[in-house]
Structure 1
Amino acid sequence: MADDEEVVEEQEVVPVVESDVVIVAHEEQPLAPPKYEVRPRLGQKFQAQNVRDIILSTMQEQLMGRQYRVDQVPRWCKMIANGVRQRVQDLNMQRYKIIVTTTIIETRGAGIKCAQRCIWDPETDDYADNLYRNSSIFCYTICYGVYMY
């Protein structure tokens, strides 16, 4: 694997002068530890409960007291998704890629089925979701936190 390969750094060349002959000496320096992290530190994992609260409060702020309007739904979805993403990024979960999707449908008594699939590391990656509904709107928002190695 690429992580197991040994990294060879350039060595500093120091010329040593002895009478008329120049001898080149190499100073050996130990390798520095890697500067990348493959796991989040304790306390830096995806904060699912905080994100759920952010999702619910953002949906309530945008949709409270509104009735379903097909011409306004794309704008509402963008506002909710961008608002959630920005507020989650403010939690400063370093090295997490934040992905937010929002779905708004009209409440008319019909059902809906949907599925999502992805491949990720269950030790570092996580998601949070929440829903909001009123007499005419059903809104479902999900936020993924994918750790960037």
Structure 2
Amino acid sequence: METASRASDQTFHIRPNPDDKFRSSTVRDVIHQVLVSNLSNYIYTTETADSTASNLSEAIRNKVVELSLPRYKYIVNVVMGANRGEGVKVGARCLWDADSDNFASDVFITETFFCTASVFAIYYY
């Protein structure tokens, strides 16, 4: 009888429940809302870009955590720069479980600056 109760108390899960899976489209909407609300009236300067990117990263992480997806750990990456008509590519390489881990990203562009934000979700099992 004791072993039966211990088996039900184990917290080892190899996959998230379907309802608790990280959905890229939902998180992309969250990222978009944070970027628009924080950057619509923002005037880009190199002096404030670092702190703004850090604040955006924290705001995005807090909003994603509010989705209450159990056992996920998040990495948020925000890149900002001046928009001078030059091309910019931002890339990432990850090693993860394609069945449970995922990512979402969005871009905010104005005539003077660009901002790209990515959220990487790693399922902790």
SS in 2 for 1:128: strand
Residue number among 45, 49, 56 corresponding to 2:21 in the alignment: 45
Q: Which amino acid aligns with 1:33?
A: A
TM-score of the superposition, structure 1-length normalised? 0.77
Q: CA deviation at 1:62?
A: 1.3
Q: Deviations over 1:77-101 (max 9, x none)?
A: 0111000000000000000001100
Q: How does 1:83-98 map to 2 (within 5 A)?
A: 83-98=59-74
Q: CA deviation at 1:136?
A: 0.5
Tell me, which stretches of 5 or more residues in structure 2 are unaligned? none
The CA RMSD measured in Å over matched residues stands at 1.5
Pair 60,29 (structure 1): closer, same or farther in 2 beyond 3 Å: closer
Q: Which amino acid aligns with 1:81?
A: S
Counterpart-to-counterpart distance in 2, 1:78 and 1:119: 25
Pair 96,71 (structure 1): closer, same or farther in 2 beyond 3 Å: same
Number of the residue aligned with 1:33: 7
SS in 2 for 1:56: helix
Larger Rg: 1
* Range 60-69 or range 80-89, more displaced: 60-69
Counterpart-to-counterpart distance in 2, 1:66 and 1:118: 31
Q: Deviations over 1:24-59 (max 9, x none)?
A: xxxx95463261111101211102111101111111
Structure with the larger RCO, 1 or 2 (CA within 8 Å, 6+ apart): 2
Q: Which amino acid aligns with 2:104?
A: A
Counterpart-to-counterpart distance in 2, 1:113 and 1:124: 27
Q: CA deviation at 1:61?
A: 1.3
Tell me, which stretches of 5 or more residues in structure 1 are unaligned? 1-27
More strand by percentage: 1
Say whether residues 1:61 and 2:28 are aligned partners: no
SS in 2 for 1:105: strand
Counterpart-to-counterpart distance in 1, 2:18 and 2:73: 18
Question: % of aligned pairs identical?
Answer: 26
Aligned length: 122
Number of the residue aligned with 1:75: 51
